[in-house]
Structure 1
Amino acid sequence: MADNRMTAAVKWVDDLTFVAESGSGHQVVLDGNSPGTAPSPMEVVLMAAGSCASVDVVSILEKARQQVTRCECKVTGERVGETPNVFKSIHLEFHVTGHDIAEKHVERAVQLSADKYCSVAKMLEASVAMSHGYVIHAA
């Protein structure tokens, strides 16, 4: 049986700055100050959703033999006004650039990511209104 556990460690540096290290040895600096010297934990949640979904979209488009030269996911989150300031909605908008990109493939890739593949978005959707969109740009 496969081991599905993941680990991370978060170490305090100073003030409200921390270094998080993944079980695979990669580090990220986080800052609880607003604005701080590094992304806040909530900003990292948005970045995680955008990067997870982007992996799906690019992978699906490449498998569909689309000539993608660039993919950018712009993520917007709206938080509630009281503590805890959780996200109430998150919108992911994919800007896909390439040669002769077929809209049907981009629409399908974004939909598959949202409905089936993006672990981060699937986890968030239990308590956050998730939405997705896309724009296609010619290279």
Structure 2
Amino acid sequence: MKATIDWTGEVSFKATSASGHSVQLDGPADLGGQNRGPRPMEMVLMGLGGCSSFDVMSILKKSRQDVTACHTELSAERADAVPAVFTKIHLHFVVTGNNLKDSQVARAVALSAEKYCSATIMLASGGVEITHSHEVHQAN
């Protein structure tokens, strides 16, 4: 896997993946940023959420669960000192569908956290406390 980062002025950068997708990164105003994109650490958090959500949906699909929506809320705490690494991250999955089994959703979340999500496993092995929760809603 490869990526490139190109400085675009002040504290702004264009990040491009090997697959050709780009995202503009920017810093906070007090450091010269202009709020033209997410902060790099926000991207790390969003990447974790995307990785885990991908796993959960894949597992639920294989379990033949009729999912109509999956919304994942992430909250994180960072160290007060430099480097301001993540110390705690919580992922809360809100899964909506038809006749979903809570046990299947719980299993999918656990498997992602413990076995499949590369981002979760990498961050947890680096000392980040990562927790998960979920709720299941019936589709209307």
Given the two structures, how large is their TM-score scaled by the length of structure 2? 0.92
Aligned length: 134
Aligned twin of 2:7: 12
Identity across aligned pairs (percent)? 47
Q: CA deviation at 1:128?
A: 0.3
Secondary structure in 2 matching 1:125: helix
SS at match of 2:13: strand
Q: Provide the residue aligned with 1:96 in structure 2.
A: 95
Structure 2 residue ranges without an equivalent (≥5): none
Which one-letter code corresponds to 1:132 in the other structure? H
Residue by residue over 1:57-105, the C-alpha shift from the partner in whole angstroms, topping out at 9 and shown as x without a partner, is 0010011111100001101110111111111000111000111110010
Matched residue SS, 1:122: helix
User: Is the aligned partner of 1:129 residue 2:132?
Assistant: no
Shift of 1:37: 2.2
Which residue of structure 2 aligns with residue 32 of structure 1? 27
Q: Distance in 1 between matches of 2:16 and 2:37?
A: 15
Matches within 5 A, 1:42-121: 42-121=41-120
In structure 2, C-alpha distance between the alignment counterparts of 1:41 and 1:138, rounded to whole Å? 36
TM-score, normalization: structure 1?
0.93
Code of the residue aligned with 1:47 in structure 2: it is M
Unaligned runs of 5+ in 1: 1-5
| CA RMSD across the alignment | 1.0
